[in-house]
């Protein structure tokens, strides 16, 4: 159930008080003296510069990764690498340039589902099999190092399921 009008007003008042305390604390120096407007402006400028530096640093990393992907795509074309894997690399480079890497898992899952599971294209199914094999290897490694019996049973079950999926490919 929602807040009553009185509860909402009390909540808003409390948030206002907390914001005022924060603003007051921001206006104080380490010795408790009030900051001048110039000091507040300088502090804000330093914060803005730090944020800009972080953004620029990420941008530079993305440029470097995009260059590496470009080289991988060209070498992959020359080596006859399957087009779906080259497509995923191209999409990764594209989304790195856009700064929207969170779309990549959606694209990869869609590609694997539509072209692998749905259309049963051999190259995409091979990519799916490679992913399953990689997860199976990781599960086997975890199983070897696990000491808890319950966890070992769960890992053993997951290993069996992954082996079964690989057999069905």
Domain assignment present for 32:
no
Domain assignment present for 135:
yes
Domain assignment present for 106:
no
Cβ burial 88-121 (10 Å sphere, 16+ → b, else e):
bbbbbbebbeeeeeeeeeeebeebbeebbeeeeb
Q: Give residue 157's pLDDT.
A: 95
How many domains does one find in the chain?
A: 2
Q: Give residue 133's pLDDT.
A: 95
Q: What is the pLDDT of residues 77-111, one digit of tens each?
A: 999 988 999 999 999 999 988 888 888 899 999 99
pLDDT of 1 > 60? The answer is: no
For the residues 111-138, what does the mean pLDDT come to? 90
C-alpha distance across the termini of the chain, in Å: 51
Domain assignment present for 9:
no
Domain assignment present for 20:
no
Domain assignment present for 141:
yes
Q: Does the global pTM surpass 0.85? A: no
Q: What is the pLDDT of residues 129-159, one digit of tens each?
A: 999 999 999 999 999 999 999 999 999 999 9
Indicate the pLDDT class of residue 23, thresholds 50, 70 and 90. Answer: low
User: Domain residues for 146?
Assistant: 121-169
């Amino acid at each position: 159930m929602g807040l009553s009008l009185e509860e909402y007003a009390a909540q808003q008042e409390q948030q206002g008080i907390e914001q005022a305390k924060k603003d007051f604390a921001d206006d104080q120096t380490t010795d408790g003296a009030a900051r001048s407007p110039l000091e507040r402006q300088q502090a804000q400028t330093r914060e803005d510069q730090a944020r800009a530096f972080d953004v620029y640093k990420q941008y530079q990393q993305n440029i470097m990764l995009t260059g590496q992907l470009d080289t991988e795509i060209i070498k992959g074309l020359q080596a006859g690498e399957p087009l779906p894997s080259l497509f995923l690399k191209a999409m990764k480079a594209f989304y790195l340039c856009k700064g929207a890497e969170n779309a990549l898992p959606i694209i990869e899952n869609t590609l694997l589902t539509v072209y692998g599971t749905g259309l049963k294209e051999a190259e995409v199914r091979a990519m799916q099999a490679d992913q399953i094999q990689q997860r199976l290897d990781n599960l086997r490694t975890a199983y070897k190092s696990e000491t808890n019996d319950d966890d070992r049973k769960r890992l053993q079950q997951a290993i069996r399921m992954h082996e079964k999926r690989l057999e069905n490919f």
